[in-house]
Amino acid sequence: MSISTSGGEQRRPSVVSTGKKSPAGGKPAEGGKAAGAKPTEDGKAAGAKPAGTAAKTSSAGRVPANRSGGGGGGKKPQQRRPVAPVRVSQGRSWGSIGLFVAVGVVTAAIIGYGAYAVIQNGKSWEDKAAAIDGITNYRKTDPSLVEPFPGKQSHEAGPLTYKISPPVGSSHNNAWQNCVGDVYDAPIANEHAVHSLEHGAIWITYKSDLPAEQVEQLASKVRGNEFMLMSPIENLDRPISLQAWGYQLKLDSASDGRIDDFVAALRQNASMEPGAPCSGGITATGTTPRDNVQGDQPQAPAGG
């Protein structure tokens, strides 16, 4: 199509489509004209660059793509989405779980034992004794068994008759049986043993037919321990009987854990004469008491 001007006929410059959007404000108008562009007298659009500065086409007639990425309304290059890491499911480590469980159990046991120890340490010896299954507290159930015989003093010479066997208190000889871990292999006089109880000793007695291994098991709890003595006794109704002043516990086996509980709760605590010794007493066996004219300071018995 030609445009008629004063200079003669002139052809409209060819427009090459580059596929890009028109600059802002330059919407294409009918007939291929830019919106708002007015032709001048020489047929050039307002604001059009001289022909010498027009974009050069390639040999194929195409305008090179805009590589700068700036301006011109070109599409921005698409960015690749980051690839999320794939999690690999692993089996449970039962070894580690077992270790944690074991540590937890041990920790709980330590805490539990510590709490138990604190509670136990806060109890009185009377409460600890009362907690022993099967123990008899004659101080409460029958005080007459620990009080002096009617019409008699605490210390009495000669043989004495006790209401229960083995006795747990009441009148006794003025000499005590030695009780510094002594293990006697024959019966001893009740009158001396009761005096040892008054000083705070634990007297372990057993039937003469108790198996030797059980006798030795009992002896191992006595030897070398002060305020402890042990001897067989006649006419015992149970294999083993433990005595403290006013307390008694009868058992069937030397492996019974209550033996240790009885000793721990009552040794020296049940004393009626705190601070009285267990050494310097009678060391002879035999059921006949040996009188001592020196009162509470026994002598070595004649011939024994």
Cβ(268)–Cβ(199) under 8 Å? Answer: no
For residues 261 and 294, what is the distance between their CA atoms, to the nearest angstrom? 36
Residue range 243-298, pLDDT digits in tens: 999 999 999 999 999 999 999 999 999 999 999 999 999 999 999 999 864 444 44
For residues 140 and 4, what is the distance between their CA atoms, to the nearest angstrom? 142
For residues 233 and 243, what is the distance between their CA atoms, to the nearest angstrom? 12
Q: Amino acid identity, residue 239?
A: P
pLDDT of residue 108: 77
* Residue-range domain boundaries for the chain: 127-266
Q: Is the pTM of this model over 0.75?
A: no
Residue 51 has pLDDT above 70, yes or no: no
Averaged pLDDT, 223-246: 97
For residues 123 and 269, what is the distance between their CA atoms, to the nearest angstrom? 13
Band of residue 203 on the pLDDT scale cut at 50, 70, 90: very high
Q: Amino acid identity, residue 182?
A: D
Residue range 124-140, pLDDT digits in tens: 999 999 999 999 999 99
Residue 25 has pLDDT above 60, yes or no: no
In this structure, what are the phi and psi dihedrals at residue 188, rounded to the nearest 5 degrees? Answer: -120, 170
pLDDT of residue 263: 98
Cβ(176)–Cβ(282) under 8 Å? Answer: yes
pLDDT of residue 286: 97
Top-confidence residue, 236 or 14: 236
pLDDT of residue 95: 79
For residues 184 and 53, what is the distance between their CA atoms, to the nearest angstrom? 132
